[in-house]
Structure 1
Amino acid sequence: MSAMVVPVTWAQGIVLNNQSLRTDLNWLNQQGVIQISTSTWPMSGVEIQRAISQAKVTQESQQQVIDSVLAALNADNDMLKASFYAESDSKNIPQEFADKQKSQYQAALEFNAGGENWDAKIRVNAEKDPKIDNGQNVNVEGSYLAGKLWNQWLIAGQIPTYWGPGHDGSLIRGDASRPVYGFTAQRAEQKAFASKWLSWIGPWQYQAFAGQLDEYAAVPDTRLLGLRLTAQPLPYLELGVSRILQWGGEGRSESWDSLWNAIKGNDNFYNSEDDKSNQLAGIDVRFNLQSLFNIPVSVYGQYVGEDEAGLLPSRKMYLAGTDYSSSFRNMPFQLYTEWADTRTNGDSRGISYNHHIYTDGHYQHGFPLGHAMGGDGQMISVGGNIRFDPLNRLSTRVLFAKVNDSNRATNQTFPGKDEIRALDLTWSHYLRPDIPLKLNGWISDSDVNGQNGGASIGVEFPLDKTLFRN
């Protein structure tokens, strides 16, 4: 069978972090239906549509997932949307990918507009009882303006970023903190070079970012700079390299010479004048075994380190996992297991995500810019999801985490050494393809906080189709 085409008036230029969409795209990758990188967020709607247009569909369950992806893209095009979220109690477990609720209660109004070469999202959020306190009750997190020039998206705004193949976290750039104000550049389509000398690199993507951290007390106005490159030289192999640095700020040199020395990595000194930045760098890899052995399994890993020795990171953190995508009685499902270790070479030394000059560490408002558990932690998670029908999806994860083993005050997510065991369950019901209702429940047991449980509800709906329909 061939993929059904669902018309989209215009492709949303920038697709922000979306758990369900990433799950569906990974599922299609592992089934051999499409080939697309999902390790760099935000993504380009043009690239997603390109991959879907080349889909090789052979089963009804594969078509169901294709339809789900197209419905998500169409819903992202709704001109005017509103959303509401409330939870019964604060959820004190490591945040999962694309969790944009940074307060216990939130209402948001969102306006979307765009065309072939431009895109805009204006989102106004009203919050009560924040989990990440930024001193504001109203913000514009998730808003941006973007233009496309020669297959490059240039984006200005406050949007979440995520670098890496992990389900539950990235060692270098995750989305557990509030989004950072800044500018982003990336390719619109990940197509390979046309040149015969470079075509072997395969489909590739880059994302460059420059922004400024908010309320970073140690060095006010600290800049956050980063670059990520990914390539798929073989159908079953994706490689990624990432580098991020904190640089400049009040009282620090912001000369071109200082920046160039930081970029070269020539700044690993304890002298404050010579040490130009706080840096993290690493590599990640994903193997898709569908192309090799015709089994819908991927294995992936990420290695990130602080400080430089021999031009490579010397104080290392690790992440590894595997996932499996299949279907049961025409119901697509995915299972995964993941391990992450943010200690330094396996030891809790108070080094990971910390620095002697940028003493607030690799955090913003005390919440990690890297993995959601912060530095000097270990986490094992097992999870999955199943789509019962086009309108109902169930997802769950069980996690065991040791957090902040070095008792660093910079980690305000988990301000002291603790061990956490948790069950996290989410049911997503679509009242319409563009009206998702999400019910989440969790149970956790913490050595510090004891047993805890709670529930949350969230709904998002288009106002232009709901209120102004004829």
Structure 2
Amino acid sequence: MKKTLITLLILSASISKAEPWIDTRDAWLRADIELLANEGVIKSPITTWPLPWAPIIKDLEGASRAELDEHILPVFLRVKRKARLETDTETYKRISLKAGNQSKLLRHFGDDRREKAEISSRVTGVSKNFAWNLEATKAFDPLDGEEQRLDHSYVATIWGNWIISAGTQERWYGPGWDTSLLLSNNARPVPGVSLQRNYSDAFETPWLSWIGPWSLNAFAGQLESDRFIPHAKLLGMSVTFKPFESLDIGLRRTAQWGGEGRPESLSSLVDLAIGRTNCDQIEDGCDDRLSGNEAGNQLAGIDFNWRLPTESYMGSLYGQLVGEDEAGYAPSRKFYQLGYKTNFHISDFAVTGYFEYADTENEYAPNVTYEHGIYQTGYRTKGRSIGSTFDSDTQSLSLGLLATHKNGDRYKLRFAKIDLNSDGTGNHTINETAVSFNQIELKYQHPTKYGLLGIELDVKDKLIDSFGYQQDKYNIGISWTMEL
């Protein structure tokens, strides 16, 4: 990692200005961006996070303020101010304090705190040649035992229309709000390098121009040593495009590959890339999988976000389908997510609402999702699922509302009903037995001249953790973030 960072700094000396990303920690900013996308202001794909500012800024600058509805204008100006602040060629220093009565076991898009208490300081900047975020966190009583962290830190530079970066960034693949089945912010970010398209302009050739604006994101990271296959690699690739202004489509793949005692040759990587990992496709079959040449553990998925084709805006349908295996070059052994979301205004509030269902119990059998015969720690890192926040064999139904007042006050209300680990067996990271529970979550943030103050309350009607991490049915937390 250190050598990679130095290489990127050297390369940046001859490369044009880079813009930083919008990360996964601001649900209300995401709601504003989705509202502007629904109104046709933002035209680039917005279902892969971190999301580059560059195409968002381009779309904002191309919009006519005179043509915006009076209810849309405050949202437009709010996002534009945020973009100007984040991409200004200055250095910003921030400090944040977050604390609660216990750690957060279930995380959703926009959640920031992980542990019982955290103190973070960060330096973020954009220069003529590159962007960076150096963020150090002291965690108190962490679940994984790591008190000092550099999560969310990165350095990035641009080569043509490609962003090259290295760091530990949270990633989110897909349109879901409550969870993402393939890649979410549930587990701590995996350190690695990434390549991402900056601007999402459509192809000029008529053969490919029909796919519309498109983006590509690929990354390679290394998982921890304390697992069944130490130092396995986590690979991912995502292509999103908009063949119609109303439709986002995402094609995604992730894989665990290599590690101690596993093949890491170029041919093994090629086998993984073309999906040649089934027992009948490899020379020595699967009689002894641990000693064989099976390339790795791969997952693949497709997702969509479709604005309903009504004369006046009536919301969007979205969904995600993920397969644990491949058959006929398509995902098999599948699990899925479906949802509906909409944007509306009440007085001086911009509101986003969503209704979401997800089922991580595999169509093939229980205890298949996020499991593998070779990578027996599963699709997990440091005790948390890399995919769904609820891990495997779980059905979740949630209703969420996010509201932003024109004065900057922000609110979130969420109800959920969860059937966790419904078959009651397996290597589940939250509960070893089946448990059904109801949940209500409230959040409020208020900007002041002393920084952004926040309070949150999460209440469940049952204790859901069989490992002793959670002692209370409620989780109350406070936060404070200030620029220095």
Do the two structures share a fold, i.e. TM-score over 0.5? yes
Tell me the distance in 1 between the aligned counterparts of 2:412 and 2:210.
38
2:5 match: none
Q: Report the CA distance between 1:120 and its aligned residue.
A: 0.8
**Of 370, 373, 376, which residue of structure 2 is paired with 1:356?**
373
1:121 match: 133
Structure 1 residue ranges without an equivalent (≥5) = 1-9, 464-470
Letter in 2 for 1:453: Y
Q: Runs of 4 or more off by more than 6 Å in structure 1? A: none
**Of 235, 240, 249, which residue of structure 2 is paired with 1:225?**
235
Offset from partner CA, 1:45-96 (integer Å, 9 cap, x none): 112211211235422321211222233334546511111100123344x311
**Of 445, 450, 457, which residue of structure 1 is paired with 2:461?**
445
**Of 310, 315, 321, which residue of structure 2 is paired with 1:297?**
315
Any idea what SS the aligned residue of 2:366 has? coil
Q: Report the CA distance between 1:408 and its aligned residue.
A: 5.0
Any idea what SS the aligned residue of 1:68 has? helix
**Of 388, 409, 412, which residue of structure 1 is paired with 2:429?**
412
Q: In the alignment, is residue 368 of structure 1 matched against residue 385 of structure 2?
A: yes
**Of 305, 308, 330, which residue of structure 2 is paired with 1:286?**
305
Tell me the distance in 2 between the aligned counterparts of 1:461 and 1:76.
15
Q: 1:25 to 1:70 in 2, by over 3 A?
A: same
Tell me the distance in 2 between the aligned counterparts of 1:302 and 1:319.
5
Stretch of structure 1 that moved more, 172-181 or 265-274: 265-274
Q: Report the CA distance between 1:454 and its aligned residue.
A: 2.7
Letter in 2 for 1:20: W
Q: In the alignment, is residue 435 of structure 1 matched against residue 447 of structure 2?
A: no
Q: Where does 1:165-176 land on structure 2 (aligned, <5 Å)?
A: 165-176=175-186
Any idea what SS the aligned residue of 1:186 has? strand
Any idea what SS the aligned residue of 2:28 has? helix
* C-alpha contact 1:213 1:223 (8 A) present in aligned 2: yes
Q: Give 1 or 2: higher strand fraction.
A: 1
Tell me the distance in 1 between the aligned counterparts of 2:117 and 2:173.
28
Q: Report the CA distance between 1:153 and its aligned residue.
A: 0.4
* C-alpha contact 2:20 2:86 (8 A) present in aligned 1: no
Tell me the distance in 2 between the aligned counterparts of 1:239 and 1:462.
37
Q: Where does 1:19-418 land on structure 2 (aligned, <5 Å)?
A: 19-57=27-65, 58-76=68-86, 79-92=92-105, 94-131=106-143, 133=144, 135-269=145-279, 270-271=286-287, 272=289, 273-289=292-308, 292-345=310-363, 349-407=366-424, 410-418=427-435
Q: Report the CA distance between 1:402 and its aligned residue.
A: 1.2
Identical amino acids, percent of aligned pairs = 30
* C-alpha contact 1:367 1:411 (8 A) present in aligned 2: no
Q: Under a length normalisation based on structure 2, what TM-score does the superposition of the two structures give?
A: 0.88
Tell me the distance in 1 between the aligned counterparts of 2:104 and 2:121.
24
Tell me the distance in 2 between the aligned counterparts of 1:149 and 1:142.
22
Tell me the distance in 1 between the aligned counterparts of 2:64 and 2:100.
41
* C-alpha contact 1:215 1:364 (8 A) present in aligned 2: no
Q: In the alignment, is residue 457 of structure 1 matched against residue 475 of structure 2?
A: no
Offset from partner CA, 1:298-343 (integer Å, 9 cap, x none): 1011100111222222200010101110112232111110000001
Q: Report the CA distance between 1:394 and its aligned residue.
A: 0.9
Q: 1:147 to 1:408 in 2, by over 3 A?
A: farther
Q: Report the CA distance between 1:292 and its aligned residue.
A: 4.6
Letter in 2 for 1:110: R
Stretch of structure 1 that moved more, 141-150 or 383-392: 383-392
Q: 1:323 to 1:204 in 2, by over 3 A?
A: same
* C-alpha contact 2:42 2:56 (8 A) present in aligned 1: no
Count of residue pairs the alignment pairs up: 448
Offset from partner CA, 1:21-62 (integer Å, 9 cap, x none): 111101112233332322101111112211211235422321
Q: In the alignment, is residue 16 of structure 1 matched against residue 23 of structure 2?
A: yes
Q: 1:337 to 1:44 in 2, by over 3 A?
A: same
Letter in 1 for 2:140: K
* C-alpha contact 1:12 1:73 (8 A) present in aligned 2: no
* C-alpha contact 2:362 2:368 (8 A) present in aligned 1: yes
* C-alpha contact 2:28 2:402 (8 A) present in aligned 1: no
Any idea what SS the aligned residue of 2:32 has? helix
Structure 2 residue ranges without an equivalent (≥5) = 1-16, 280-285, 466-470
Tell me the distance in 1 between the aligned counterparts of 2:177 and 2:44.
16
Q: Report the CA distance between 1:407 and its aligned residue.
A: 4.2
Tell me the distance in 1 between the aligned counterparts of 2:163 and 2:211.
21
* C-alpha contact 1:278 1:355 (8 A) present in aligned 2: yes
Tell me the distance in 1 between the aligned counterparts of 2:226 and 2:322.
23
* C-alpha contact 1:31 1:325 (8 A) present in aligned 2: no
Q: Report the CA distance between 1:166 and its aligned residue.
A: 0.6
* C-alpha contact 2:41 2:59 (8 A) present in aligned 1: no
Tell me the distance in 2 between the aligned counterparts of 1:75 and 1:441.
30
* C-alpha contact 1:31 1:326 (8 A) present in aligned 2: no
Tell me the distance in 1 between the aligned counterparts of 2:251 and 2:403.
32
1:5 match: none
Q: Under a length normalisation based on structure 1, what TM-score does the superposition of the two structures give?
A: 0.91
Tell me the distance in 2 between the aligned counterparts of 1:302 and 1:376.
16
Letter in 2 for 1:293: E
1:7 match: none
